[in-house]
Amino acid sequence: MAGAGRGPREPRSGRSTAADFERYVSRGSNRVFVVVVVFLLFAALFFVRLVYLQVIMANQYAEQAQQSRTIGFVVEPRRGTIYDRNGHILAISVDAYTIYANPSEITEPGSTSRACAEVLGGKAQDYVEALSQGESATFTFIKRKADVDQANKLREMNLPGIYFIEDTRREYPYGQTGGQVIGACSVAVDEERNREYYDGICGMELYYNTILAGTPGYYEAEVGADGTPIPGGVHESKRAVEGQDIVISIDIEFQEEVEKALAADVKRVGGKGGSAVVMDATTGEIYAAASDPFFNPADRTNVPEGSMQLKAATNLFEPGSIFKTVSATAILEEETMTPDTEITVPEYIEADGYIVADAYDHEEVKWSLRTIINKSSNIGISLSVEKFLGFQKFYDSILRYRFNELTGVDYPGEQLGYLLDFDYWSRVQGYNVTFGQGISINALQILCFYGALINDGVEVTPHFLLRKPQTEEVPTWETHEIIKNKNAIEPMVSMLQTVVTDGTGTDAAIEGYDCAGKTSTAEIFDMEGGYRVDAVNIAFTGFIANSNSPLVCFCGADEVPADRHVTPMFQDIMTHAINRYNIVPD
């Protein structure tokens, strides 16, 4: 029987039931949702990262990219020129080139090094390291401040990877002449900014360094992948401000004559050095100033010890008998003596266990103040100050004459001397100071005092700077009325004239002119105590009296083995001054 053994079944349908469909859809939706959520999370992270890179970090990455293709240099300003009073150039910055290399472009460092050595000097090995740094290096200095001719010769070789930047170099056209006044520069190094620049180390170059130096700028050059500059990619981010020029008071041609006279006289007297200064007493302008040994800023292969300083400002000495003019002036101001007033001058005087004597033997005599100055008597000036002025007033006069103060000269390193406080003066200390012993000064101080004698008692600050041409600035300088009683000036000058006509300074005389001044032989303090017996310092300070010249001159020689005079140096220097400046007697 058909269908036997099978139970009755429900008929099949071709579709799922509604419940099955709901269960299926529920499971599928969860999977899709998870996929969509994951996709959206990745998309969000990608978007955030994109925003971070292109918006937040964009400037930093752009800067890093630019830095990777940029080389930079400090642009050095042109240093100001130094002129003498007549417009002659004393120091100037001339055109030069800084030569650098891009080692990644150099395929033959050996031949390139040999070419650099041939043109720039030195050995090829000196350049190999800078030129053999491989593809990772795109910049290295070869030579800074190279001569223009050298740079042009190297440029003509068309060496791959060698480049040139305009620069300047300091030159001193007059070499040694005026070297201590003009000074010099050294090349200072700023490693952090990869910078080399001129920095004053002495003289005017140092004292007026800020004015002369200017302000540096900055130069950048963008380079391509091979390290070569990108056309149009060079730009200067900061302009350099050039240094100012200065005009100083020295007359370089007269300076040369002064240096010749100084060198000749130091050699003649057998000294180890010396100084000479010529100053206008009415203005304080220094026309010439020099020290032996001399300094050549243009050639520093051999620099004698102490030669870079102007000793008239930076070195101290016991003035000796040129200080007797100070003592006599103080007495004349008190009006207790005249040049003709006589005083008994014994063979020697004793004080505090010490003997004060003259440099020559004599019996007890009666000498006038004029004779005491003419003969440069230590005993005579000591007793004159003690009896006709008093040591307290003498001390006060020294202070009023500004021997305890710097002159204020615009020169680096001026030294202030030594004067024992009056509370500690003994009698022998008072005697010693009257003839310039037991007190130390610099030469400019005594020069200024003598200058006041021909400038109506007024001392003017000695100086070198006259003006700054770019700004038309003319500095003013302090003046000090140090000699109050003008009646003392004429008799003091008269006594200094007779020192030259009849006294110790006869070799300073110039025919047709009334020269005035005072000689000096000063002992040298021994650091181990007492005074040296093997050498003395000698000096002369003076001027041409009764003339149209306000020039006052100091001449000195150091560590001279015997009692000699530098009066011929004064005669030589002032004869040149007479001829050059048309000095005529009144």
Reference 208, options 167, 164, 176, 245; nearest CA is: 245
Sign of CA dihedral 7, 13, 19, 22: positive
- pLDDT-derived band at 4 (thresholds 50, 70, 90) equals very low
What residues does 446 pair with on adjacent strands?
none
pLDDT of residue 379: 98
Task: Spell out the CATH class of 252-581.
Answer: alpha beta
- pLDDT-derived band at 29 (thresholds 50, 70, 90) equals low
Query: Which string of DSSP letters, residue by residue, matches 166-212?
Result: EEEEEE-TTTTTTHHHH-EEEEEEEGGGTEEEEEEEEHHHHHTHHHH
pLDDT of residue 236: 54
- 291 by Cβ neighbours in 10 Å (0-12 / 13-18 / 19+) ranks as buried
pLDDT of residue 161: 87
Per-residue pLDDT tens digits for 412-435 = 999 999 999 999 999 999 999 999
Pairing of strands 162-171, 140-147: unpaired
Mean pLDDT, residues 489-494: 98
Segment among 219-228, 296-305, 449-458, 542-551 with least mean pLDDT: 219-228
User: With b meaning 16 or more CB within 10 Å and e meaning fewer, what string describes 536-570?
Assistant: bbbbbbbbbbebebbbbbbbbbbbbeeebbbbbbb
The reported pTM is 0.82
| Cα(259)–Cα(252) distance, integer angstroms | 10
For the chain, give every domain's residue range.
71-118+136-248, 252-581
Pairing of strands 217-223, 229-238: antiparallel
Winning range, highest mean pLDDT, from 62-71, 218-227, 231-240, 278-287: 278-287
| Cα(499)–Cα(510) distance, integer angstroms | 13
Number of other residues whose CB lies within 10 A of the CB of residue 344: 12
CATH of 71-118+136-248 among 2.40.40.20, 3.40.50.880, 3.90.1310.10, 3.20.20.70: 3.90.1310.10
Per-residue pLDDT tens digits for 64-105 = 544 545 666 677 789 999 999 999 999 999 988 888 888 888
User: Is the pLDDT reported for residue 51 higher than 70?
Assistant: no
Going by C-beta distance under 8 Å and a sequence separation of 6 or more, which residues neighbour residue 185? 79, 170, 198, 199, 200, 201, 205
| Cα(65)–Cα(221) distance, integer angstroms | 14
Measure CA 392 to chain center. Answer: 40
